[in-house]
Chains A and B, each alone.
Chain A
Amino acid sequence: MKIGSIRHVRGFDVARPLSIGAMLGIMLPLVLLPLLSIFVYGTSKGLGVFWSSLVAPEAIFALKLSMVTSFWATAFNVLFGLFAAYVLSRYNFWGRNAVIVTISLPTAIPTAVAGFALLLLWGKYGMIGHYLSEDQQIMFTPYAIILANVFVTFPLAFGVIKPVFDTMSRSLEEASATIGATRWQTFWHVTLPSLRGAIVSGALLTFARAVGEFGSTILVSGNLAGRTQTAPLYIFAKFNEGQIEAANAIAIVLALLSFVIFSVLFFARDWLEFETQEA
């Protein structure tokens, strides 16, 4: 029997269940099962164990540090991304494309390389670092984590906001100007509202990426428990110490957080697309 002849059996498309099944069969062990296992394992010793690992001071500190550093990195990168997108889509200048490529570069750089590069610049014997006095050093402090997060998530907000700027009709801003608005009024009342969706999704993407950052953080933070240990570093440290439950509790929190962020992004897509369409 030829393959072609089994495709349709009395109007029933055999290829449909076969291909759906194949897709799920590949996806399940690769993506869904690992995620499922952290939930299964994390709660296997009872919710009490899970809860006490969660509220351990070091764990709480790690989560808080992750949130705070990611928040500031996000705030900076959204504001800067907005500004950079404005400048790069409104003004044409020599080398503009080179700047756009450079801004997007951190996406392609391995995070460990990024962390290493930051160390070489800011570290005690680095290019800038060796001009700083002992108490001005920022490597191995929470500021270093923010710096690493900024570097690694640099292009994300920019990448979401820039296309919206590019497709936004110039005549909206021109209309605002002829009506009598200053540049700032135009930006505040006309441009910014049209960018709302892009800013929200850019911020969520940046935050999600920053919270999970490991490679660069472990190099620049020094991984000092209770001082510069972020949540992913905590997972790694506890796992190395053999405290699987402690690592697992935090892993669950991080996984849930990313689920939440991702669902907001996904289900708000209609709303976000609606925004960009109008702009």
Chain B
Amino acid sequence: MIAKMALAEKQSIHESWAPDREQTKGVAASVRGISKRFKKARVLEDVSFDVAEGESLVLLGASGSGKTTILRIIAGLEQPDTGEVILHGKDVTDMPARERGVGVIFQAYALFPRMTVEKNIAYGLKIRRRPRKERRETVDRLIKLVQLEAHRKKYPWQLSGGQQQRVAIARTLAYKPEVLLFDEPFGALDAQTRVHLRREIRALLRQVKVPSVFITHDQEEALELGDRIAVLNNGHLEQIGTPDEVYNHPETEYVATFLGAANLLLGVVAEGHVEIGTARFPAEKETARFREGQSVKLVFRPEDVCISQDANLPGNCRRLANGVIQEVNFVGAYERLSVRLDLTHRKGDTDALYQVTINTPQRMTGIPIMVTRPKPQANVTKYQAGDRVAIGLTSFSVLPNYTLVRQR
């Protein structure tokens, strides 16, 4: 019964991005059950996802997660061991790269050094032996689109990184690509240009409505660029969903910790609560898919913690436990607090399932969590190390606690 409910819960999560919506919008590109090995190393394992028409999907993962390999497989620069690549309904798995008509924006842009901006952009049409007039018109339109009118006769080395990138995009748009693939597009740029450029690209993509796949290891970039984000870990697709879904409702511990900071507390499911040490955290809906007594992890972000010196937590805040402020740091845009949760076994308490004790050199007890508060809030109520506070959560996820074996 519970198992069935768990299954139902799982399906409902997936439905938010699965076929229905995509069928109505139209699928531009699909990757179906892709696996790939390089010699002995497994790089990708049964990866499947769709990119909807006009959508931008971000493949997010640490280096070595296989995200570049997926991109190269879609582009046709690499062959998968199993699985298929479908572009606009056509199976292109066995097609060479040059027949696929995808646009790849390489990490270092790979502009042709001996060609001017114009010639770079016209290359795709020249290869296709389009008439000179059409070539010129297309190049004119694209140069205007990417705002490089003043640079059309320049060579790539005379352009800035951002300009080169725009040339690279225009060069692929010239032959109306099925899908645009961006390989770590901002990796070679400094932090400021990076933020500026990704907004520019986002605006450009909205304009041209070409479905695109980005790969990046930068979670901020992923959240900003993606209509949806696919998180990859060790060649395995951990979760795919809107930025809101993956950030606020991570399905795995990896997703929770890779996308931003997250606190993890080990607990057990008991009567619609998560028991963490002596704390009983009410989470009826969230624990419904777990067995009674199952070991789970309570995952929450530092900014989803509310603290209060009296017992009155805001209405949207579920009480977790009490704690002691250990450290207060001001880190620019927000305030960061380190708080020790008071979860230890108290004298006389016999019904706690187990007890949590952390042996630090100071033999302090309780579990440290990270809390952040926005500036306005931090300015109203100030805390000092040693203050006792009540702690509640506005948003959290309950995940199964798999320790050694990957089970999903």
Q: Which A residues fall within an 8 A CB radius of B?
A: 169, 171-172, 174-182, 185, 189-190, 193-194, 196, 278-279
Contact = CB atoms under 8 A, between A and B. Distances in A.
Given A179-B124, A194-B114, A278 B157 contact: yes
B127 A193 contact: no
Interface of B: 75-77, 96-104, 106-108, 110-114, 123-124, 126-128, 157, 171-172, 175
Q: Can you list the 6 inter-chain pairs with the closest CB atoms, starting with the nearest?
A: A193-B114, A278-B113, A175-B110, A171-B110, A177-B97, A178-B104
Contacts of B114: 190, 193-194, 196, 278
19 contacts: A171-B107, A171-B110, A174-B75, A175-B112, A176-B123, A177-B76, A177-B77, A178-B172, A179-B123, A179-B127, A179-B171, A179-B172, A180-B101, A180-B128, A180-B175, A181-B127, A189-B127, A194-B113, A278-B157
A194 B112 CA distance: 9
A246 to B, nearest CB: 48
Contacts of A196: 114
A182 B99 CA distance: 9
Contacts of A175: 104, 106, 110-112
Contacts, number: 73
Contacts of A174: 75, 77, 97, 104, 106, 110
A178 to B, nearest CB: 5
A276 to B, nearest CB: 11
A214 B153 CA distance: 49
Given A171-B107, A177-B98, 17 more contacts: A171-B108, A174-B106, A174-B110, A175-B106, A175-B110, A175-B111, A176-B123, A177-B96, A178-B98, A178-B100, A179-B98, A179-B103, A179-B127, A179-B171, A180-B99, A190-B114, A194-B114
Given A177-B98, A179-B123, A169 B108 contact: yes
A178 B102 contact: yes
Contacts of B110: 169, 171-172, 174-175
B211 to A, nearest CB: 16
Contacts of B111: 175
Contacts of A172: 110, 112-113
